[in-house]
Amino acid sequence: MHIPQTLLAIFWKRVAMFSGGYDMDYRTERDSLGEIRVPESAYYGAQTARALENYSISGMGVQAAMIENYVLLKKAAAEVNQEFGLLDADRSRAIVRAADDIIGGALRDQFVVDAFHSGAGTSFHMNVNEVLAGRANEILTGVRGGKSPVHPNDHVNMGQSTNDTFPTVMRMASRRQVPGLLDALGELRGALAGKGVEFKPIVKAGRTHLQDAVPVTLGQEFAAYAETIRQASDAVASASPSLEELGIGGSAAGTGLNTHPRFRFRIIEEISRYTGINFRPAADLRASMQSNLPVALLSSSLRVLALEVSRICNDLRLLSSGPATGLKEINLPAAQPGSSIMPGKVNPSIPEMVNMVCFQVIGNDTALGWANGAGQLELNVMMPVMAHNLLQSLQILTNALRALTSRCIQGITADAARSRRYAESTMALATALNPRIGYDRAAEIVKEALASGRTIVEVAREKSGLSEDELNRLFDIAAMTGQE
């Protein structure tokens, strides 16, 4: 069995960490299962160290968006708990300062839990609590890590649970990524619409079932692509507001146990102030813990978007195929040499990349859908894979669409002469004869044109009985496109 080298490296590094290798110094910390060694340099504590032993799975960490938004939530919680007189000022200020350090980019190497870890995200949540406590303790005492004077559970996690914080952070992180995707979609739509205007005069053969059909213009094709992107963008935008309902304050089972009765309202006010997004308390805290419908809804809209973008990329690859033996109605800008053996070959590399990104997004949604349906009673524990997949989909779609716009769509040119030649050669021109001579006689003209190798116009002159002026009017291919 082949094991990727990155996973082997992670495995042996962690073996060395926990067997005394790398000449590493350790301290001993405790959790409810007992003692465990933690690297002396680590800000995290026992539960994170235990997660490192248990979950060497993918070599992928939890996304930065989850780290940033979890830390932001903890900062707001420390401030609100101080406001309610539940957390003293020194501890609160230390936690807030630690949070600001991390939000500013520090200590990111301390978030070491694998993307695939414990149910509900407990391991990553405790990784966050422990790093914040470890840094807060360093601020207060000069010694990093540990549980005193700032305890990861009692102080950083005051009035909270994995069960209400993880779904809250998943919604926050996802909702905050949506504007970037919508901006990328707007740029793509604008570029496609621009090509629709630029290519408006270029008449070409339409194709249905990959067979010749009546003429259209290249501009009409690209304008239709732009409209599809508008519709898909609207679907994403419509799905995102449901993420703004947050279940923070529900505590362990949605009942608010051990939580100040005003906590959920004040912390959401603070989150909204920090982010500029109008987050609001969930209508039912139990429902927000049992169900991740808003997450699944956004993921589903990304799936639909991916399917449409992939279809458009397939068209771009087909329309640019050749250059000598394909359609070659458009030319895509060259992104890189296309072959290690065939000189001069250039491939549609950017649309190919976007296709692969779309396939990944579709797969992510499939896994997320299964996870969304796997909740039981008061909690859906499959949230880590849901958060990972949705945030990855948002990130890779945003980046891929920007590349598609700037490195492909904006540089597309058209082969107008080749397009017109196809339009004049299509057997579907006979469709224009239907109102004058009927479908059956027009079909006979098509058959003879195919058999003889002559054009539809030539055979129609001979067989239709129509005048030259009428044939010229009927076979005006520009008029056939319906453009004024």
Task: Compute the distance between CA of residue 98 and CA of residue 101 in angstroms, rounded to an integer.
Answer: 5
Take residue 141 and report the two structure tokens written for it.
């005492």
Task: Compute the distance between CA of residue 466 and CA of residue 438 in angstroms, rounded to an integer.
Answer: 13
Task: Compute the distance between CA of residue 249 and CA of residue 77 in angstroms, rounded to an integer.
Answer: 10
* Residues annotated catalytic, as ranges: 209, 339
Task: Compute the distance between CA of residue 49 and CA of residue 163 in angstroms, rounded to an integer.
Answer: 21
Task: Compute the distance between CA of residue 328 and CA of residue 30 in angstroms, rounded to an integer.
Answer: 67
Task: Compute the distance between CA of residue 403 and CA of residue 386 in angstroms, rounded to an integer.
Answer: 26
Task: Compute the distance between CA of residue 182 and CA of residue 49 in angstroms, rounded to an integer.
Answer: 39
Neighbours of 281 (CB within 10 A): 18
What per-residue string of b and e applies to 139-148 under the rule 16 or more CB within 10 Å gives b? bbeeebbbbe
Task: Compute the distance between CA of residue 298 and CA of residue 390 in angstroms, rounded to an integer.
Answer: 8
Q: Beta 26-31 vs 34-39: how paired, if at all?
A: antiparallel
Residues 6+ apart with CB under 8 A from 384: 62, 115, 116, 117, 118, 119, 120, 121, 124, 166
Contact call for residues 478 and 416 (beta carbons, < 8 A): no
Q: Assign 3-class secondary structure to 140-163.
A: HHCCCCCCCCCCHHHHHCCCCCHH
Residues 6+ apart with CB under 8 A from 303: 361, 362, 365
Contact call for residues 76 and 84 (beta carbons, < 8 A): no
E strand intervals along 383-446: 413-414
